[in-house]
A and B are shown apart, each in its own frame.
Chain A
Amino acid sequence: MDIFIAPIKFHNNLLLQNLVTELSKRFYCKIHVVNLNVNLDDFFSIERKQYFSTQIIAEAIKLTDEFNGKIIMLTDVDIFVPALTFVFGEAQLNGKHSILSVCRLHEEFYSGISNENLLLERTIKEILHELGHNYGLRHCADWDCVMHASNGIEEVDIKGNTFCRKCISNVETYKY
């Protein structure tokens, strides 16, 4: 089973390239970049000025029957689920689809100062995190594990960038 990255309203090609390289090092499976014909504007909330991630995933499910693997949508736009102010990402637990927004992973969002290395590091952590949910993992109590909950950017930065020994056994094709 391969991993498919689907950029939607995502314009940082360098980050995308770096992500593929980094993920290829970590997984035995192939990493593909695919084009998904999802119109995000259909899921835009005028009131919140954000995109409803659960509905985006529901739309993606309809379009990805032929993909044999995990599909992660990558976007620059800010996403939300009702009841919460925002989410970094959303994934189907024990499923195939997930979405990750890099909007709030940018350091500019918090300090106004750009930091591409930090953005790459944060994005890798959150992609691994959402993939972990796809592989059936829930949040882990171990701060060194990438499956630790991150409800704020500080927690993204604090937690580890790989799976702990307990969680790793669930993630097929993960190298280390």
Chain B
Amino acid sequence: MDNRERILIVDDEKIVRESLYHWFEEENYIVDTAEDGETALKKYAKEKFDLLLVDMKMPGMSGLDLLSKIKAIDKDALIILITAFASVPTAITALKTGAYDYVTKPVDPDELAHLVKKALEQRALKIENTKLKENIDEIIKPDNLIGESYQMKKIYELVHSVARTDTTVMIRGESGTGKELVAKAIHINSSRKYSPIITVNCGALAESLLESELFGHEKGSFTGAQFKRKGKFEMANGGTIFLDEIGSISLRMQIEMLRVIETKQFNRVGGNELIKSDFRVITATNEPLEELVKAGKFREDLYYRLNVFTVVIPPLRERRDDIPLLVSFFINKFSTVMNKKIKSVSKEAMDFLMNYDWPGNVRELENAIERAMVVGKSDSIIVDDLPFHVSKTNFELDGNEKSLSSMEKKFIQKILHENNWNISKTAQILEIDRVTLYNKINKYELRKEEF
């Protein structure tokens, strides 16, 4: 296969085309010519050229028009414009339209040779870089998503299948299950991976701030807006916008958001300029959006616009098999950060971790391990190192506690702890009166400091 670089010369003057043709031919390039923009477009559609030399001034389609059309087909196309008269506005227009550079006719052969060589070298480097990145990407799993359970493998499959498309994704799952990690996994496996993923926590911002955060604002558009600022939708241009806690936005913002997601156009707060941005939308929520729609708190049209493809992340208690793997991952993570020698978890501590319900999911497990690593003295995490509420209040039945009284003691202990030793509330939950509860506390010698 001939791997010489291909150059297309587009000029309406035959003698210019021919002279450049011969000159480049001698330079060892494969050269073709076109007498006008239309012919050039046809030739470009048929075969790939590494570089185009385009005359600015041609009858019919101008060089700049051709440049725009080719850039629309291939944004990486390498184009050098040729102009008869050098002028700053011409140069600015050429470069703004996406030309690599421009030269003035007649051009010094040395300058042209260097320019073409430099342009093609840069292009080759870019292609090589992309190939290298693709090779690296092949060995990146959906990143920090940890788990080998059946449920997690299904998630990986979903991530891979949806990532390559530009479909809007809604990620659902309890708090702490790793919705943001799944969003990042979708982004890094998509064609948008070289542009940023911009995260917006919709629940964390007041409505007025959220509007400015999402759409940006012009200088002086509100008190405190001292400078123009780009919004998250603008910053996500070319990449992905991840809207976390989407269920918490107001109805007014829902209308705005629907419009922006559909048109990909918006104005900055206090501005008239129409901003265009090309982004993919991924949302996440732990709220029952369907119920919010029924209650009229979430717009149905926005719901359907966002809920095109859903990824549901199971809570940790439904994938307990992943707990040892997660524990090991967090131990490695924190032992490096804290410079600790802890490498494992005792059997008893692991039993606790495996049996706990983890209402806070992976985030809670991570915090539990971090806390244990801070207080741990040996090279292994033991039960006592685990956070108090995990280790002592985990109500469970084990083989040694078969008597009714021991179970009663443990259950009262748990409810007392959960209600911070509020006697009235605990009695109410246990459906006994306060005196009976005091009697039980005395009987089982329960003390707040025990915990």
Contacts and interface: CB of A to CB of B under 8 A. Distances in A.
Given A90-B22, A152-B110, A83 B105 contact: yes
A85 interface: yes
Contact of A84 (B13, B25, B26, B107): B107
Contacts of A152: 109-110
Nearest to B53: A83
Q: In terms of DSSP, what is the predominant structure of the interface of chain B?
A: helix
The CB with the most chain A CB atoms within 10 A, among B20, B22, B82, is that of B22
Q: In terms of DSSP, what is the predominant structure of the interface of chain A?
A: loop
A104 to B, nearest CB: 11
A91 B26 CA distance: 9
Given A54-B19, A90-B22, A85 B108 contact: yes
A149 B19 CA distance: 16
Interface in B26-46: 26-28
A48 B107 CA distance: 13
A149 B15 contact: no
A82 B13 contact: yes
A86 interface: yes
B109 A151 contact: yes
B143 interface: no
A70 interface: no
Contact of B15 (A82, A90, A138): A82
Interface string A122-163: 000000000001000011000000000101100100000000
A33 interface: no
Contacts of B27: 138-139, 149
Contacts of A90: 22
A133 B107 CA distance: 22
23 contacts: A54-B15, A54-B18, A54-B22, A82-B16, A82-B19, A82-B106, A83-B19, A83-B20, A83-B23, A83-B106, A84-B23, A84-B106, A85-B106, A87-B109, A90-B22, A93-B25, A139-B26, A139-B28, A149-B27, A149-B113, A151-B108, A151-B112, A155-B110
8 residue pairs, one from A and one from B, having the closest CB atoms: A81-B19, A151-B110, A151-B109, A152-B110, A138-B28, A151-B113, A82-B16, A82-B15
